[in-house]
Chain A
């Protein structure tokens, strides 16, 4: 159903007389920009979120003669991308917080406060988020243009300590710190778990240990080179992120990607999704100490890594995406052979699922554990397979199709229960679907070249998006005249799902904690960037 934006805005009565301005960014009406005064931001965003049932994609802050804040929303089919735009003078540096109405904006505002030094008025908790207090002095705002990306060692603070914030007050309440290394070869994250005994009452993750400042170090580099950074946001979703980046640049430079490249991109994106999900399934088996099943899944993961390796030269598909297509053009025979190998993997995966489904001791650890209710998942803006396990099924491949996904036959799976078992089932279902899409593409891939170098190098900004293995990923890019990056904003699915993770972890027993964590299949690197 098409969204009647004009009408909704007319009917809405704003507390203050602030007429938001609608501007269509393109002739096809795929992007609408609503500019408003910052005092109307919260209400307008709240209206789009709760009344129009749009998803909040993320917040994009840019410093260009003052600050531009874009709150990105998207909906179902036929709904355009909607950017709510507010400008803030460079002297002002204060914006009203929208997180009261759109809870998913909570972490985005905390991030912008840390990195840009903007104050979000009415936000209950700012500071010590991306930049840890025990490492960085007060007042550092690395994303400001005046901050040099190569400033080495100038900021390191020697003395300020950090103590976990305690909230739970009760007899016998204590804090259990976990991490940043807590098991073998895990991504670094620290958890502050508060408890009065058996159950975790409050679970707050402390992230950004691996903050690499990607958004900042991309600035000033050539777009072609930033593809390499995009691949390395998170290796488990390297192809997805580089695809989002390339598609944004291709929009700005008006690049017509050849049909074969579009089909191959679907092929590799689904291959990556399959590998990601198999790794997630392996993690879930491992977290329940089900070593035999974990080993079976591990074999499949390595098989997929080898398929990627022999087809693309790289086990994580690095160096494959480029602006204008792919750097390789594997022939049809190779694609079909890889698809046949993938089919075998999928068959073995189906066997694994059948066996897990009859292993009651395993299912007992997942069923009704780590439950996230649908409304909570919507409020926190959960995305991807983890969101779909709570019946939040919006999928960018469906609602904002790219690379010809709209011509492919598939349905986005979802489950209503929102527990660990539902998440496992979604991972399985999506894996089979990816395998099937890979097979379909291998049969129908058009002939031709896989790359074009026709491009109109011009300045501009655009949003690139993909449904990454973990969910919606949005990349906002502004390019200069010469083709260098002026602003690169990376919004990742793990960021949204980490925000929501505590919903699942709280009020469950300690021994369930690692299992709940595994069922979320969260990536720290994707979150930290």
Chain B
């Protein structure tokens, strides 16, 4: 058995410095498209390429509703023009504006949050990225987050997937079985908008159609650090993604940056 201890020591510490510092390793995030100033015509042609309607041509610039984006890269590759692509992963935001969300968890939860993960019909990418939070690179235990298999012990319901019809009942039952106070984190563009799957006869297309969502983490899939950002946001330890998903907000942000 000693060989394992030695190997463990030889491996050294792999854990990211995030949230203390930003993580800069290659390949931790796919990045994302952001609002871009473009001539009318180019903006029009790019928005026509987007399969989910995430791109809108709104005068002088192309706005991005990142909640809808499925990372197909069509707006970034193989065209004469492309959208601006921003690295990073702090994408989560409070869904509080929709009046149903109930804000951050109380401070007592800061160092001990138990999370039930429910896959409500995704492709497995979001689920796998959620799982990575447990691996030595992200090791989210150090920040006081724990997975639990039981809704009775859960403070947070983390939902991935486009709300498949046959997952509605199990998901609702899990939510009902959780003690208050409880929060819902929706992870991935499918859980936010249905992504490429919904809405259809088989998928309702958004978790918020069934449950009150508190934090949304867009991305297809959002990388582990984006999900971690969502959890830190929920416990009041990180600020919301400042580039709001609302196209009007984006326009305002764009202007203030320019001036």
- In angstroms, how far is the closest chain A Cβ from the Cβ of B71? 6
Of the candidates B27, B117, B119, B136, the one whose C-beta lies within 8 Å of that of A295 is B136
Q: Are B4 and A355 in contact (CB under 8 A)?
A: yes
CA distance A140 to B203 in the complex (A): 16
Contact of A185 among B11, B51, B73, B117 (CB under 8 A): B117
A330 to B168, CA, bound (A): 42
Q: Which residues of A approach B to under 8 Å, CB–CB?
A: 132, 134-136, 142, 147-152, 154-156, 180-188, 208-214, 216-217, 225, 228-229, 231-236, 238, 279, 292-293, 295-296, 298-299, 301-302, 305-311, 313-316, 318-319, 327-328, 351, 355, 358-359, 451, 523-526
Flag if B116 contacts A212 (CB, 8 Å): no
> Which residue of A148, A154, A210, A225 contacts B161 across the interface (Cβ within 8 Å)?
A210
Is the CB–CB distance between A235 and B161 below 8 Å?
A: no
**Could you name 10 residue pairs across A and B whose Cβ atoms are closer than 8 Å?**
A152-B200, A184-B148, A208-B166, A209-B166, A210-B166, A212-B198, A238-B123, A298-B137, A302-B137, A313-B31
Asked whether any CB of chain A lies closer than 8 Å to the CB of B128, the reply is yes
| A236 to chain B: closest residue by CB | B124
Give bound CA distance, A314 to B30, whole Å.
5
Q: Could you tell me the distance in whole angstroms from the C-beta of A224 to the nearest C-beta in chain B?
A: 9
Which of B31, B73, B166, B201 is within 8 Å of A149, CB to CB? Answer: B201
Name the distance in Å between B204's Cβ and chain A's nearest Cβ. Answer: 8
A525 touches B28 (CB 8 A): no
Q: Which of A155, A225, A232, A302 contacts B197 (CB 8 A)?
A: A232
Query: B123, A232: Cβ atoms under 8 Å?
Result: yes
Q: Of the candidates B28, B124, B200, B202, which one forms a contact with A235 in the assembled complex, judged by CB atoms under 8 Å apart?
A: B124
In addition to A209-B164, A319-B71, A319-B77, 8 A-B residue pairs with Cβ atoms within 8 Å of each other are A152-B201, A209-B121, A211-B202, A228-B72, A299-B14, A355-B3, A355-B7, A358-B3
Complex Cα gap A147–B200 (Å): 12
Q: Looking at B73, B129, B166, which has the most chain A CB atoms within 10 Å of its CB?
A: B166
User: Counting CB contacts under 8 A, is B130 at the interface?
Assistant: yes
A210 to B129, CA, bound (A): 18
Establish whether residues A318 and B161, one from each chain, have CB atoms under 8 Å apart when the complex forms.
Answer: no
Query: In the assembly, what is the distance between CA of A233 and CA of B124, in Å?
Result: 9
Q: Which residue of B lies closest to A217 (CB)?
A: B200
Smallest Cβ-Cβ distance to B49: which chain A residue: A224
User: What A residues does B112 contact at CB under 8 A?
Assistant: none
Q: In the complex where A147-B201, A183-B149 touch, is A234 in contact with B167 (Cβ < 8 A)? A: no
The 8 closest A-B pairs by CB, nearest first: A309-B27, A306-B27, A235-B125, A213-B202, A298-B135, A184-B147, A310-B27, A310-B26
Q: A188-B170, A234-B124 are in contact. Are A151 and B201 (CB under 8 A)?
A: yes
B204 / chain A contacts, CB cutoff of 8 Å: 152
Distance A318 CA – B130 CA, assembled complex (angstroms): 18
CB distance from B257 to the nearest CB of A (A): 25
- Please state if B27 and A308 are interface contacts (CB–CB under 8 Å): yes
B27 and A318 within 8 A (CB): no
Residues on the A chain within 8 Å of B198, using CB: 212
- B122 A299 Cβ-Cβ under 8 A: no
How far is the CB of B221 from the nearest CB of chain A, in Å?
A: 7
What residues of A have a CB within 8 angstroms of the CB of B117 in the complex? 181, 184-185
Do A185 and B131 touch across chains, with their CB atoms under 8 A apart? yes
**Judging by beta carbons under 8 Å apart, are B7 and A210 in contact?**
no
Shortest distance in angstroms between A337's beta carbon and chain B's nearest beta carbon? 11
Are B149 and A142 touching (Cβ within 8 A)? no
Residues of A near B129 (CB, < 8 A) are: 315
Chain B residues within an 8 Å CB radius of A523: 124
Q: Please give, as numbers and ranges, the residues of chain B lying within 8 Å of A212 by CB-CB distance.
A: 121, 162, 164, 197-198, 200, 202-203
Interface residues on B, range: 35 or more
- Given A185, A229, A235, A526, which contacts B147 in the complex, CB threshold below 8 Å? A185
Residues of B157-196 at the interface with A, using a CB-CB cut-off of 8 Å, are: 161-162, 164-170, 174, 195-196
Which chain B residues border A299 with CB–CB below 8 Å? 11, 14, 135-137
B132 interface residue per 8 A CB criterion: yes
With contact pairs A306-B28, A310-B26 given, residues A210 and B132 touching in the complex (Cβ less than 8 Å): no
The 0/1 profile, CB within 8 Å of A marked 1, for residues 89-129 of chain B is 00000000000000000000000000011111111110111
Instruction: Say yes or no: A209-B123 contact (C-beta < 8 A), given A181-B116, A217-B202, A306-B28.
Output: no
CB neighbours (8 Å) of B1 from chain A are 359
CB neighbours (8 Å) of A308 from chain B are 27
**Contact A319 B166, beta carbon cutoff 8 Å:** no
Of A208, A292, A319, the contact of B74 (CB 8 Å cutoff): A319
For B121, give the chain A residue with the smallest CB separation: A210
**What residues of A have a CB within 8 angstroms of the CB of B131 in the complex?**
184-185
Whether A181 lies near B149 (C-beta < 8 A) is yes
Of all chain A residues, which has the CB nearest B4?
A292
Inter-subunit contact B201/A235 (CB<8 Å):
no
What are the residues of chain B within 8 A of A351 when measuring CB–CB? 7
CB distance from B66 to the nearest CB of A (A): 15
A324 to B25, CA, bound (A): 32
CB distance from B113 to the nearest CB of A (A): 14
B200-253 contacts to A (CB < 8 Å): 200-204, 220-221, 223
A contact residues around B77 at 8 Å (CB): 319, 327-328
Q: Which of B8, B30, B166 contacts A309 (CB 8 A)?
A: B30
CB distance from A213 to the nearest CB of B (A): 3
Which residues from chain B contact A152 at a C-beta distance below 8 Å? 199-201, 204
B58 at the interface (CB under 8 A from A): no
Min CB–CB distance A325 → chain B (angstroms) = 10
Residues in A with CB closer than 8 Å to B25 are: 306
Q: Are A209 and B167 in contact (CB under 8 A)?
A: yes
> Given contacts A217-B202, A232-B196, is CB(A302)–CB(B7) below 8 Å?
no
Cα separation A525 to B121 with both chains bound (whole Å): 8
Task: Note all chain A residues with C-beta closer than 8 A to B202.
Answer: 142, 211-213, 216-217
Interfacial chain B residues near A355, Cβ < 8 Å: 3-4, 7
- Report the Cα distance A188→B160, complex, angstroms: 11
The answer to whether B26 touches A135, judged by C-beta atoms less than 8 angstroms apart, is: no
A451 — which chain B residues lie within 8 A by C-beta?
Answer: 78
Give bound CA distance, A392 to B221, whole Å. 35
Q: Determine whether B29 belongs to the interface, using a CB cutoff of 8 Å to chain A.
A: yes
Q: Residue on A with the closest CB to B135? A: A298
By a CB distance below 8 angstroms, the chain B residues around A142 are 201-202
Cβ of B70 < 8 Å from any Cβ of A?
yes
From B31, B119, B147, A188 is in contact (CB under 8 Å) with B119
